[in-house]
């Protein structure tokens, strides 16, 4: 069987994990299944965003033949690198020879700048969503997706989501048993669907607010999700008036305090559903839903699946039939 050719187009400052993570997944899929090539505009040694870690690459002009998958990795420098005409031309040239194109994280900026995403759905790192949407209004940005497939273009959210995307590509190429085997070998989730939340808005807010006015409140909420958490209780815990808490929370997270509580509850409950065999009733009580039917409705609202569907796909016993 002829191997599937995968080409990573890199540039100075590329995120090392956006290259190494997916490349390792392709390698684990089996000898001869994928041929991985690292290319750059000028060829030679290309420094990554990790000090002391670089990749050897072939020059784009010296790369001949068709490509199965072109991978555009991201990184902190990607939005700026996407303004380099030489790099954009390289993306366009390689994309024209590729059966499909995949971007990892902010690699979506490279694809969009090259005109590959016009009218298509795409994902990128949550921190760069506003910048991406403003810069590329002709792309339908899926802000809360781990990965997205639209036609021959695939895109993923930040960092580790590139491995999720690669597992999806491997599954499409070689089937579910192989993809599950790769996931087990890499000790990652068996498979997270593209529709699963890439990173909750509340957790994003926690990071943005680290050490700020709401950091300790969010931590307290996370440890007391089984309690009554009305806005008055939260305001008292934060040492603020109700009005000040609502205003501060909206400014920091673009969410109301009650929405923050709901998202922390569904995120915590999802983890328990996936990583334990506790009953749904017990999980619902632990995370403050009251009963499993309220939790079920919350899961459908946020994850578009029921707790039982989530557990059957991604729980600790998911995929055991492939052993």
> Does residue 195 lie in a domain region?
no
Residue 67: give its domain's CATH number. 3.40.50.880
Q: Can you read off the two tokens belonging to residue 140?
A: 């339908």
Tell me, what's the pLDDT at 184?
76
Rounded Cα gap, residues 273 and 279, in angstroms: 8
Shared domain check, 35 and 118: yes
Tell me, what's the pLDDT at 322?
31
> Does residue 320 lie in a domain region?
no
Question: 86-90, 95-99, 126-130: lowest mean pLDDT where?
Answer: 126-130
Shared domain check, 37 and 102: yes
The whole-chain average pLDDT of the chain stands at 87
Q: Are 112 and 120 contacting, i.e. CB atoms less than 8 angstroms apart?
A: no
Average pLDDT over residues 280-284: 94
Quick check: 132 pLDDT over 80? yes
Percent of the chain with pLDDT over 70: 89
Shared domain check, 205 and 173: no
Model pLDDT for residues 151-209, shown as the tens digit of each residue: 999 999 877 889 989 999 998 999 878 887 888 788 665 455 555 555 444 455 554 55
DSSP 260-293: HHHHHHHHHHHHHHHH----HHHHHHHTT-SSHH
Shared domain check, 289 and 173: no
Tell me, what's the pLDDT at 316?
59
Question: 115-119, 197-201, 211-215, 267-271: lowest mean pLDDT where?
Answer: 197-201
Shared domain check, 160 and 282: no
Rounded Cα gap, residues 186 and 163, in angstroms: 9
* Greater model confidence, 312 or 169: 169
Model pLDDT for residues 11-24, shown as the tens digit of each residue: 999 999 999 999 99
Residue 289: give its domain's CATH number. 1.10.10.60
Which of 155, 186, 217 finishes a domain?
186
Shared domain check, 285 and 142: no
Alpha carbon 123 to chain centroid, angstroms: 8
Quick check: 118 pLDDT over 90? yes
For the entire predicted model, the pTM comes to 0.67
Residue 255: pLDDT band by 50, 70, 90 thresholds?
confident
Query: What residues make up the domain containing 230?
Result: 201-314
Tell me, what's the pLDDT at 203?
52
β pairing state of 147-150 and 153-156: antiparallel
Q: Are 72 and 104 contacting, i.e. CB atoms less than 8 angstroms apart?
A: yes
Shared domain check, 153 and 84: yes
Shared domain check, 121 and 241: no
Average pLDDT over residues 107-119: 97
* Greater model confidence, 191 or 323: 191
Tally of domains in the chain: 2
Over 110-132, what HEC string results? HHHHCCCCCCCEECCCHHHHHHH
Which of 128, 163, 186 finishes a domain?
186
Shared domain check, 164 and 80: yes
* Greater model confidence, 97 or 164: 97
Length of the chain: 323
**Which residues are CB-contacts of 321 (< 8 A; sequence separation ≥ 6)?**
none
């Amino acid at each position: 069987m002829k191997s599937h050719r995968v080409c990573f187009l890199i540039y100075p400052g590329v995120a090392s994990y956006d290259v190494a993570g997916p490349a390792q997944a392709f390698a684990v899929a089996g000898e001869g299944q994928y041929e991985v090539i690292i290319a750059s505009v000028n060829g030679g040694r290309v420094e990554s965003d990790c000090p002391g870690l670089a990749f050897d690459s072939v020059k784009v002009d010296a790369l001949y033949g068709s490509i199965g998958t072109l991978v555009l990795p991201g990184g902190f420098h990607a939005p700026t690198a996407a303004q380099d005409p030489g790099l954009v031309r390289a993306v366009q040239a390689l994309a024209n020879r590729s059966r499909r194109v995949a971007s990892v994280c902010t690699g979506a900026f490279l694809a969009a700048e090259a005109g590959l995403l016009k009218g298509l759905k795409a994902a990128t790192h949550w921190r760069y969503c506003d910048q991406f949407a403003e810069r590329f209004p002709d792309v339908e940005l899926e802000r809360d997706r781990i990965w997205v497939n639209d036609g021959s273009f695939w895109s993923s959210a930040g960092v580790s989501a590139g491995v999720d995307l690669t597992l999806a590509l491997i599954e499409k190429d070689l089937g579910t048993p192989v993809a599950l085997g790769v996931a087990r070998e890499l000790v990652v989730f068996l498979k997270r669907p593209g529709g699963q939340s890439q990173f909750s808005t509340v957790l994003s807010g926690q990071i943005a607010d680290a050490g700020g006015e709401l950091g300790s409140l969010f931590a307290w909420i996370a440890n007391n999700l089984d309690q009554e958490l009305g806005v008055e209780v939260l305001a008292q815990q934060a040492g603020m008036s109700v009005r000040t808490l609502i205003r501060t929370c909206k400014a920091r997270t673009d969410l109301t305090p009650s929405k923050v509580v709901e998202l922390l509850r569904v995120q915590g409950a999802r983890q328990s559903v996936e990583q334990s065999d506790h009953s749904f009733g017990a999980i619902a009580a632990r995370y403050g839903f009251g009963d499993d039917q309220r939790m079920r409705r919350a899961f459908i609202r946020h994850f578009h699946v029921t707790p039982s569907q989530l557990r059957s796909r991604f729980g600790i016993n998911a995929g055991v039939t492939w052993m």
